[in-house]
Structure 1
Amino acid sequence: MNLTVLVDNNVYIDHYYLGEPALSFYLEDGDEKILFDTGYSDVFIKNADLLSIDLSQVTKLALSHGHNDHTGGLKLISSIFTKEKPQIIAHPLTFFPKKEEELVIGSAVTKEELKENYELVLTKDPVKLSPNITFLGEIPELVDFEPRKQVGETKLSDHFTPDYVLDDSALVYEGHDGLYIITGCSHSGISNICEYAKQVTGIQTIKSIIGGFHLFEEDQQLDKTIDYFEKNQITTLYPCHCVSFQAKAKLHYHIPIEEVGVGLQLEWH
């Protein structure tokens, strides 16, 4: 399986790609070409062109959750997928309106608009995207130090109510030597995601994680997350997007982390 970072907050020195506070990955596994999130704007398209990645060949588009730094590019996909349309996979709550105070933070494209042109699979259950990659669906709370936290509000009926981002999901790749976790923002908790990936696959070894961990403060949750990583002997970490410098520094003190930036390419077996 090959993974390329199309969008991240960070860009490498002397590599002339575009960055934005958002996330998008491109994955290839066998015949499946998967776009995981679309960033905030057209940056994922521009960077794909610079990296010689033909997004028109994408067979599946999976969304980690409904926030606009992961779904913003959806309003541009009609310019990419003019012939073959990818299947779009997401949690059922992904496209409900979301706001933080008066700021709109949800998808600019509705599920009704997408259904007009795409096969839209909205599922809480895990779904195979390729022979080795699974979309995890709704992540349960499996550890005691990662309670769901409110991020703004969502409108599920007539009124806005607190949003605990139940639509937050992730991908897991089953490699020859264990699991590789691919996250968007980890609102559901990075350790919860890892534990659920183990449940879904039946594989207990986690080799690596890439994506947003949603860790910002030097607090008890960060300490217990580090402890979880160490107990599970996860030796390769690629934290990006929504991980603060302070959190990365403390992680690195215990488990050496890798720098992530647009253009990073990983090959997992």
Structure 2
Amino acid sequence: MKLVVLADNNTYIDQYYLAEPALSIYIENGEKKYLFDTGYSDVYLKNAAKLGIDLEQLDAVIISHGHNDHTGGLAFYPKTKHEPLLIAHPGIMEAKKADGLSISLPVSDAYLQERFVFRLTKKPLWLDEQLVFLGEIPRVNDFENKKPVGEHCLTDGWHDDYVLDDSALVYKQKDGIYIITGCSHAGICNIAEYAKRVTGCSVIKSIIGGLHLFSGRSQQTSATADYLKQNVEGNIYPCHCTNLAAKFALHAQLPVQEVGVGLTLEW
């Protein structure tokens, strides 16, 4: 599998791509081509063009959750001759707000239906023989997902949003599993445990994505570092919503690698 970061908070020195506080990752697995999240704007399209990546031949667009720093780019997604799947938890369609501002998916159902074939699911969905979308992540530990992220609108009004639509991708290889996550609102340790359960594999080789950690000293960061040290054999690639203090805290125990637009990994 080949993975290329198309949008992230960071770029690399002397590599002239665009960055934004968002995430988008292009994935090739054999002949299959996928896009995981679309960032906040059209940055992922501009960077893909510079990198020589054709996004008009995608088999599916996978959305990690409904916040606009992961779905905003859908507003710029072109109509193509063939309609790729849109794979996500159904909760991405809910209205969401934080601090009085909308953080929702920025386009209508009708707009999306003109461009995609919907495959919204809370259950795990295998995209091919090796790559699985996890669906809704069980929250099983006592140190992750303790605080709501804004509010979401349900049939009876606005409620605290614990972002139950947050999901991830898992790539299963002979040597173990590789996790690709958007923001890890479900908690990266919860995600990892569910990834093991869904794939039937207990060996985690590597993780890339936002870990939603903003402190080097919090209980969550400390417990996350302990868990990852015990459960991940290879490199960790924290990005997007993981600040420098949290990265330092993780790096004290784990092989943490830098992420920026243009990063290419082959697993």
TM-score category, normalised to shorter length:
over 0.9
Contact (CA 8 Å) 2:51, 2:262: kept in 1 or not? yes
Q: 1:139 — aligned with what?
A: 137
Q: 2:4 — aligned with what?
A: 4
Paired residues for 1:125-164 under 5 Å: 125-164=123-162
Per-residue deviation at 1:175? 1.6
Matched, 1:220 2:212: no
Contact (CA 8 Å) 2:145, 2:162: kept in 1 or not? no
Per-residue deviation at 1:84? 1.1
Q: 1:64 — aligned with what?
A: 64
1:233–1:84: structure 2 CA closer, same or farther, 3 Å change rule? closer
Q: 2:172 — aligned with what?
A: 174
Distance 2:185 2:71 in 1: 15
Distance 1:133 1:15 in 2: 30
Q: 2:34 — aligned with what?
A: 34
The more displaced of 56-65 and 149-158 is 149-158
Matched, 1:114 2:120: no
Distance 2:113 2:133 in 1: 20
Distance 2:12 2:161 in 1: 34
Q: Per the alignment, in what secondary structure is the counterpart of residue 208 of structure 1?
A: strand
TM-score by length of 2: 0.97
The more displaced of 229-238 and 56-65 is 229-238
Per-residue deviation at 1:253? 1.1
Per-residue deviation at 1:148? 4.2
Cα RMSD (Å): 1.1
Contact (CA 8 Å) 1:30, 1:130: kept in 2 or not? no
- AA in 2 matched with 1:60: A
Contact (CA 8 Å) 2:84, 2:115: kept in 1 or not? no
1:85–1:228: structure 2 CA closer, same or farther, 3 Å change rule? same
Distance 1:99 1:254 in 2: 36
Q: 1:197 — aligned with what?
A: 195
The more displaced of 67-76 and 225-234 is 225-234
Paired residues for 1:39-118 under 5 Å: 39-77=39-77, 79=78, 81-118=79-116
Per-residue deviation at 1:95? 1.3
Unpaired stretches in structure 1, ≥5 consecutive residues: none
The more displaced of 142-151 and 240-249 is 142-151
Per-residue deviation at 1:212? 0.2
Runs of 4+ more than 6 Å apart: none
Distance 2:181 2:115 in 1: 27
Distance 1:234 1:145 in 2: 22
Contact (CA 8 Å) 2:40, 2:68: kept in 1 or not? yes
2:208 corresponds, among 201, 206, 210, to 210
Unpaired stretches in structure 2, ≥5 consecutive residues: none
Distance 2:187 2:87 in 1: 20
Deviations 1:38-69 (A, max 9, x none): 00000000000000000001110000000000
Distance 2:111 2:162 in 1: 25
Contact (CA 8 Å) 1:148, 1:187: kept in 2 or not? no
Distance 1:233 1:18 in 2: 31
* Percent identity for Structure 1 against Structure 2: 57
Q: 2:244 — aligned with what?
A: 245
Q: 1:22 — aligned with what?
A: 22
State how many pairs are aligned: 266
Contact (CA 8 Å) 2:34, 2:60: kept in 1 or not? yes
1:63–1:148: structure 2 CA closer, same or farther, 3 Å change rule? farther
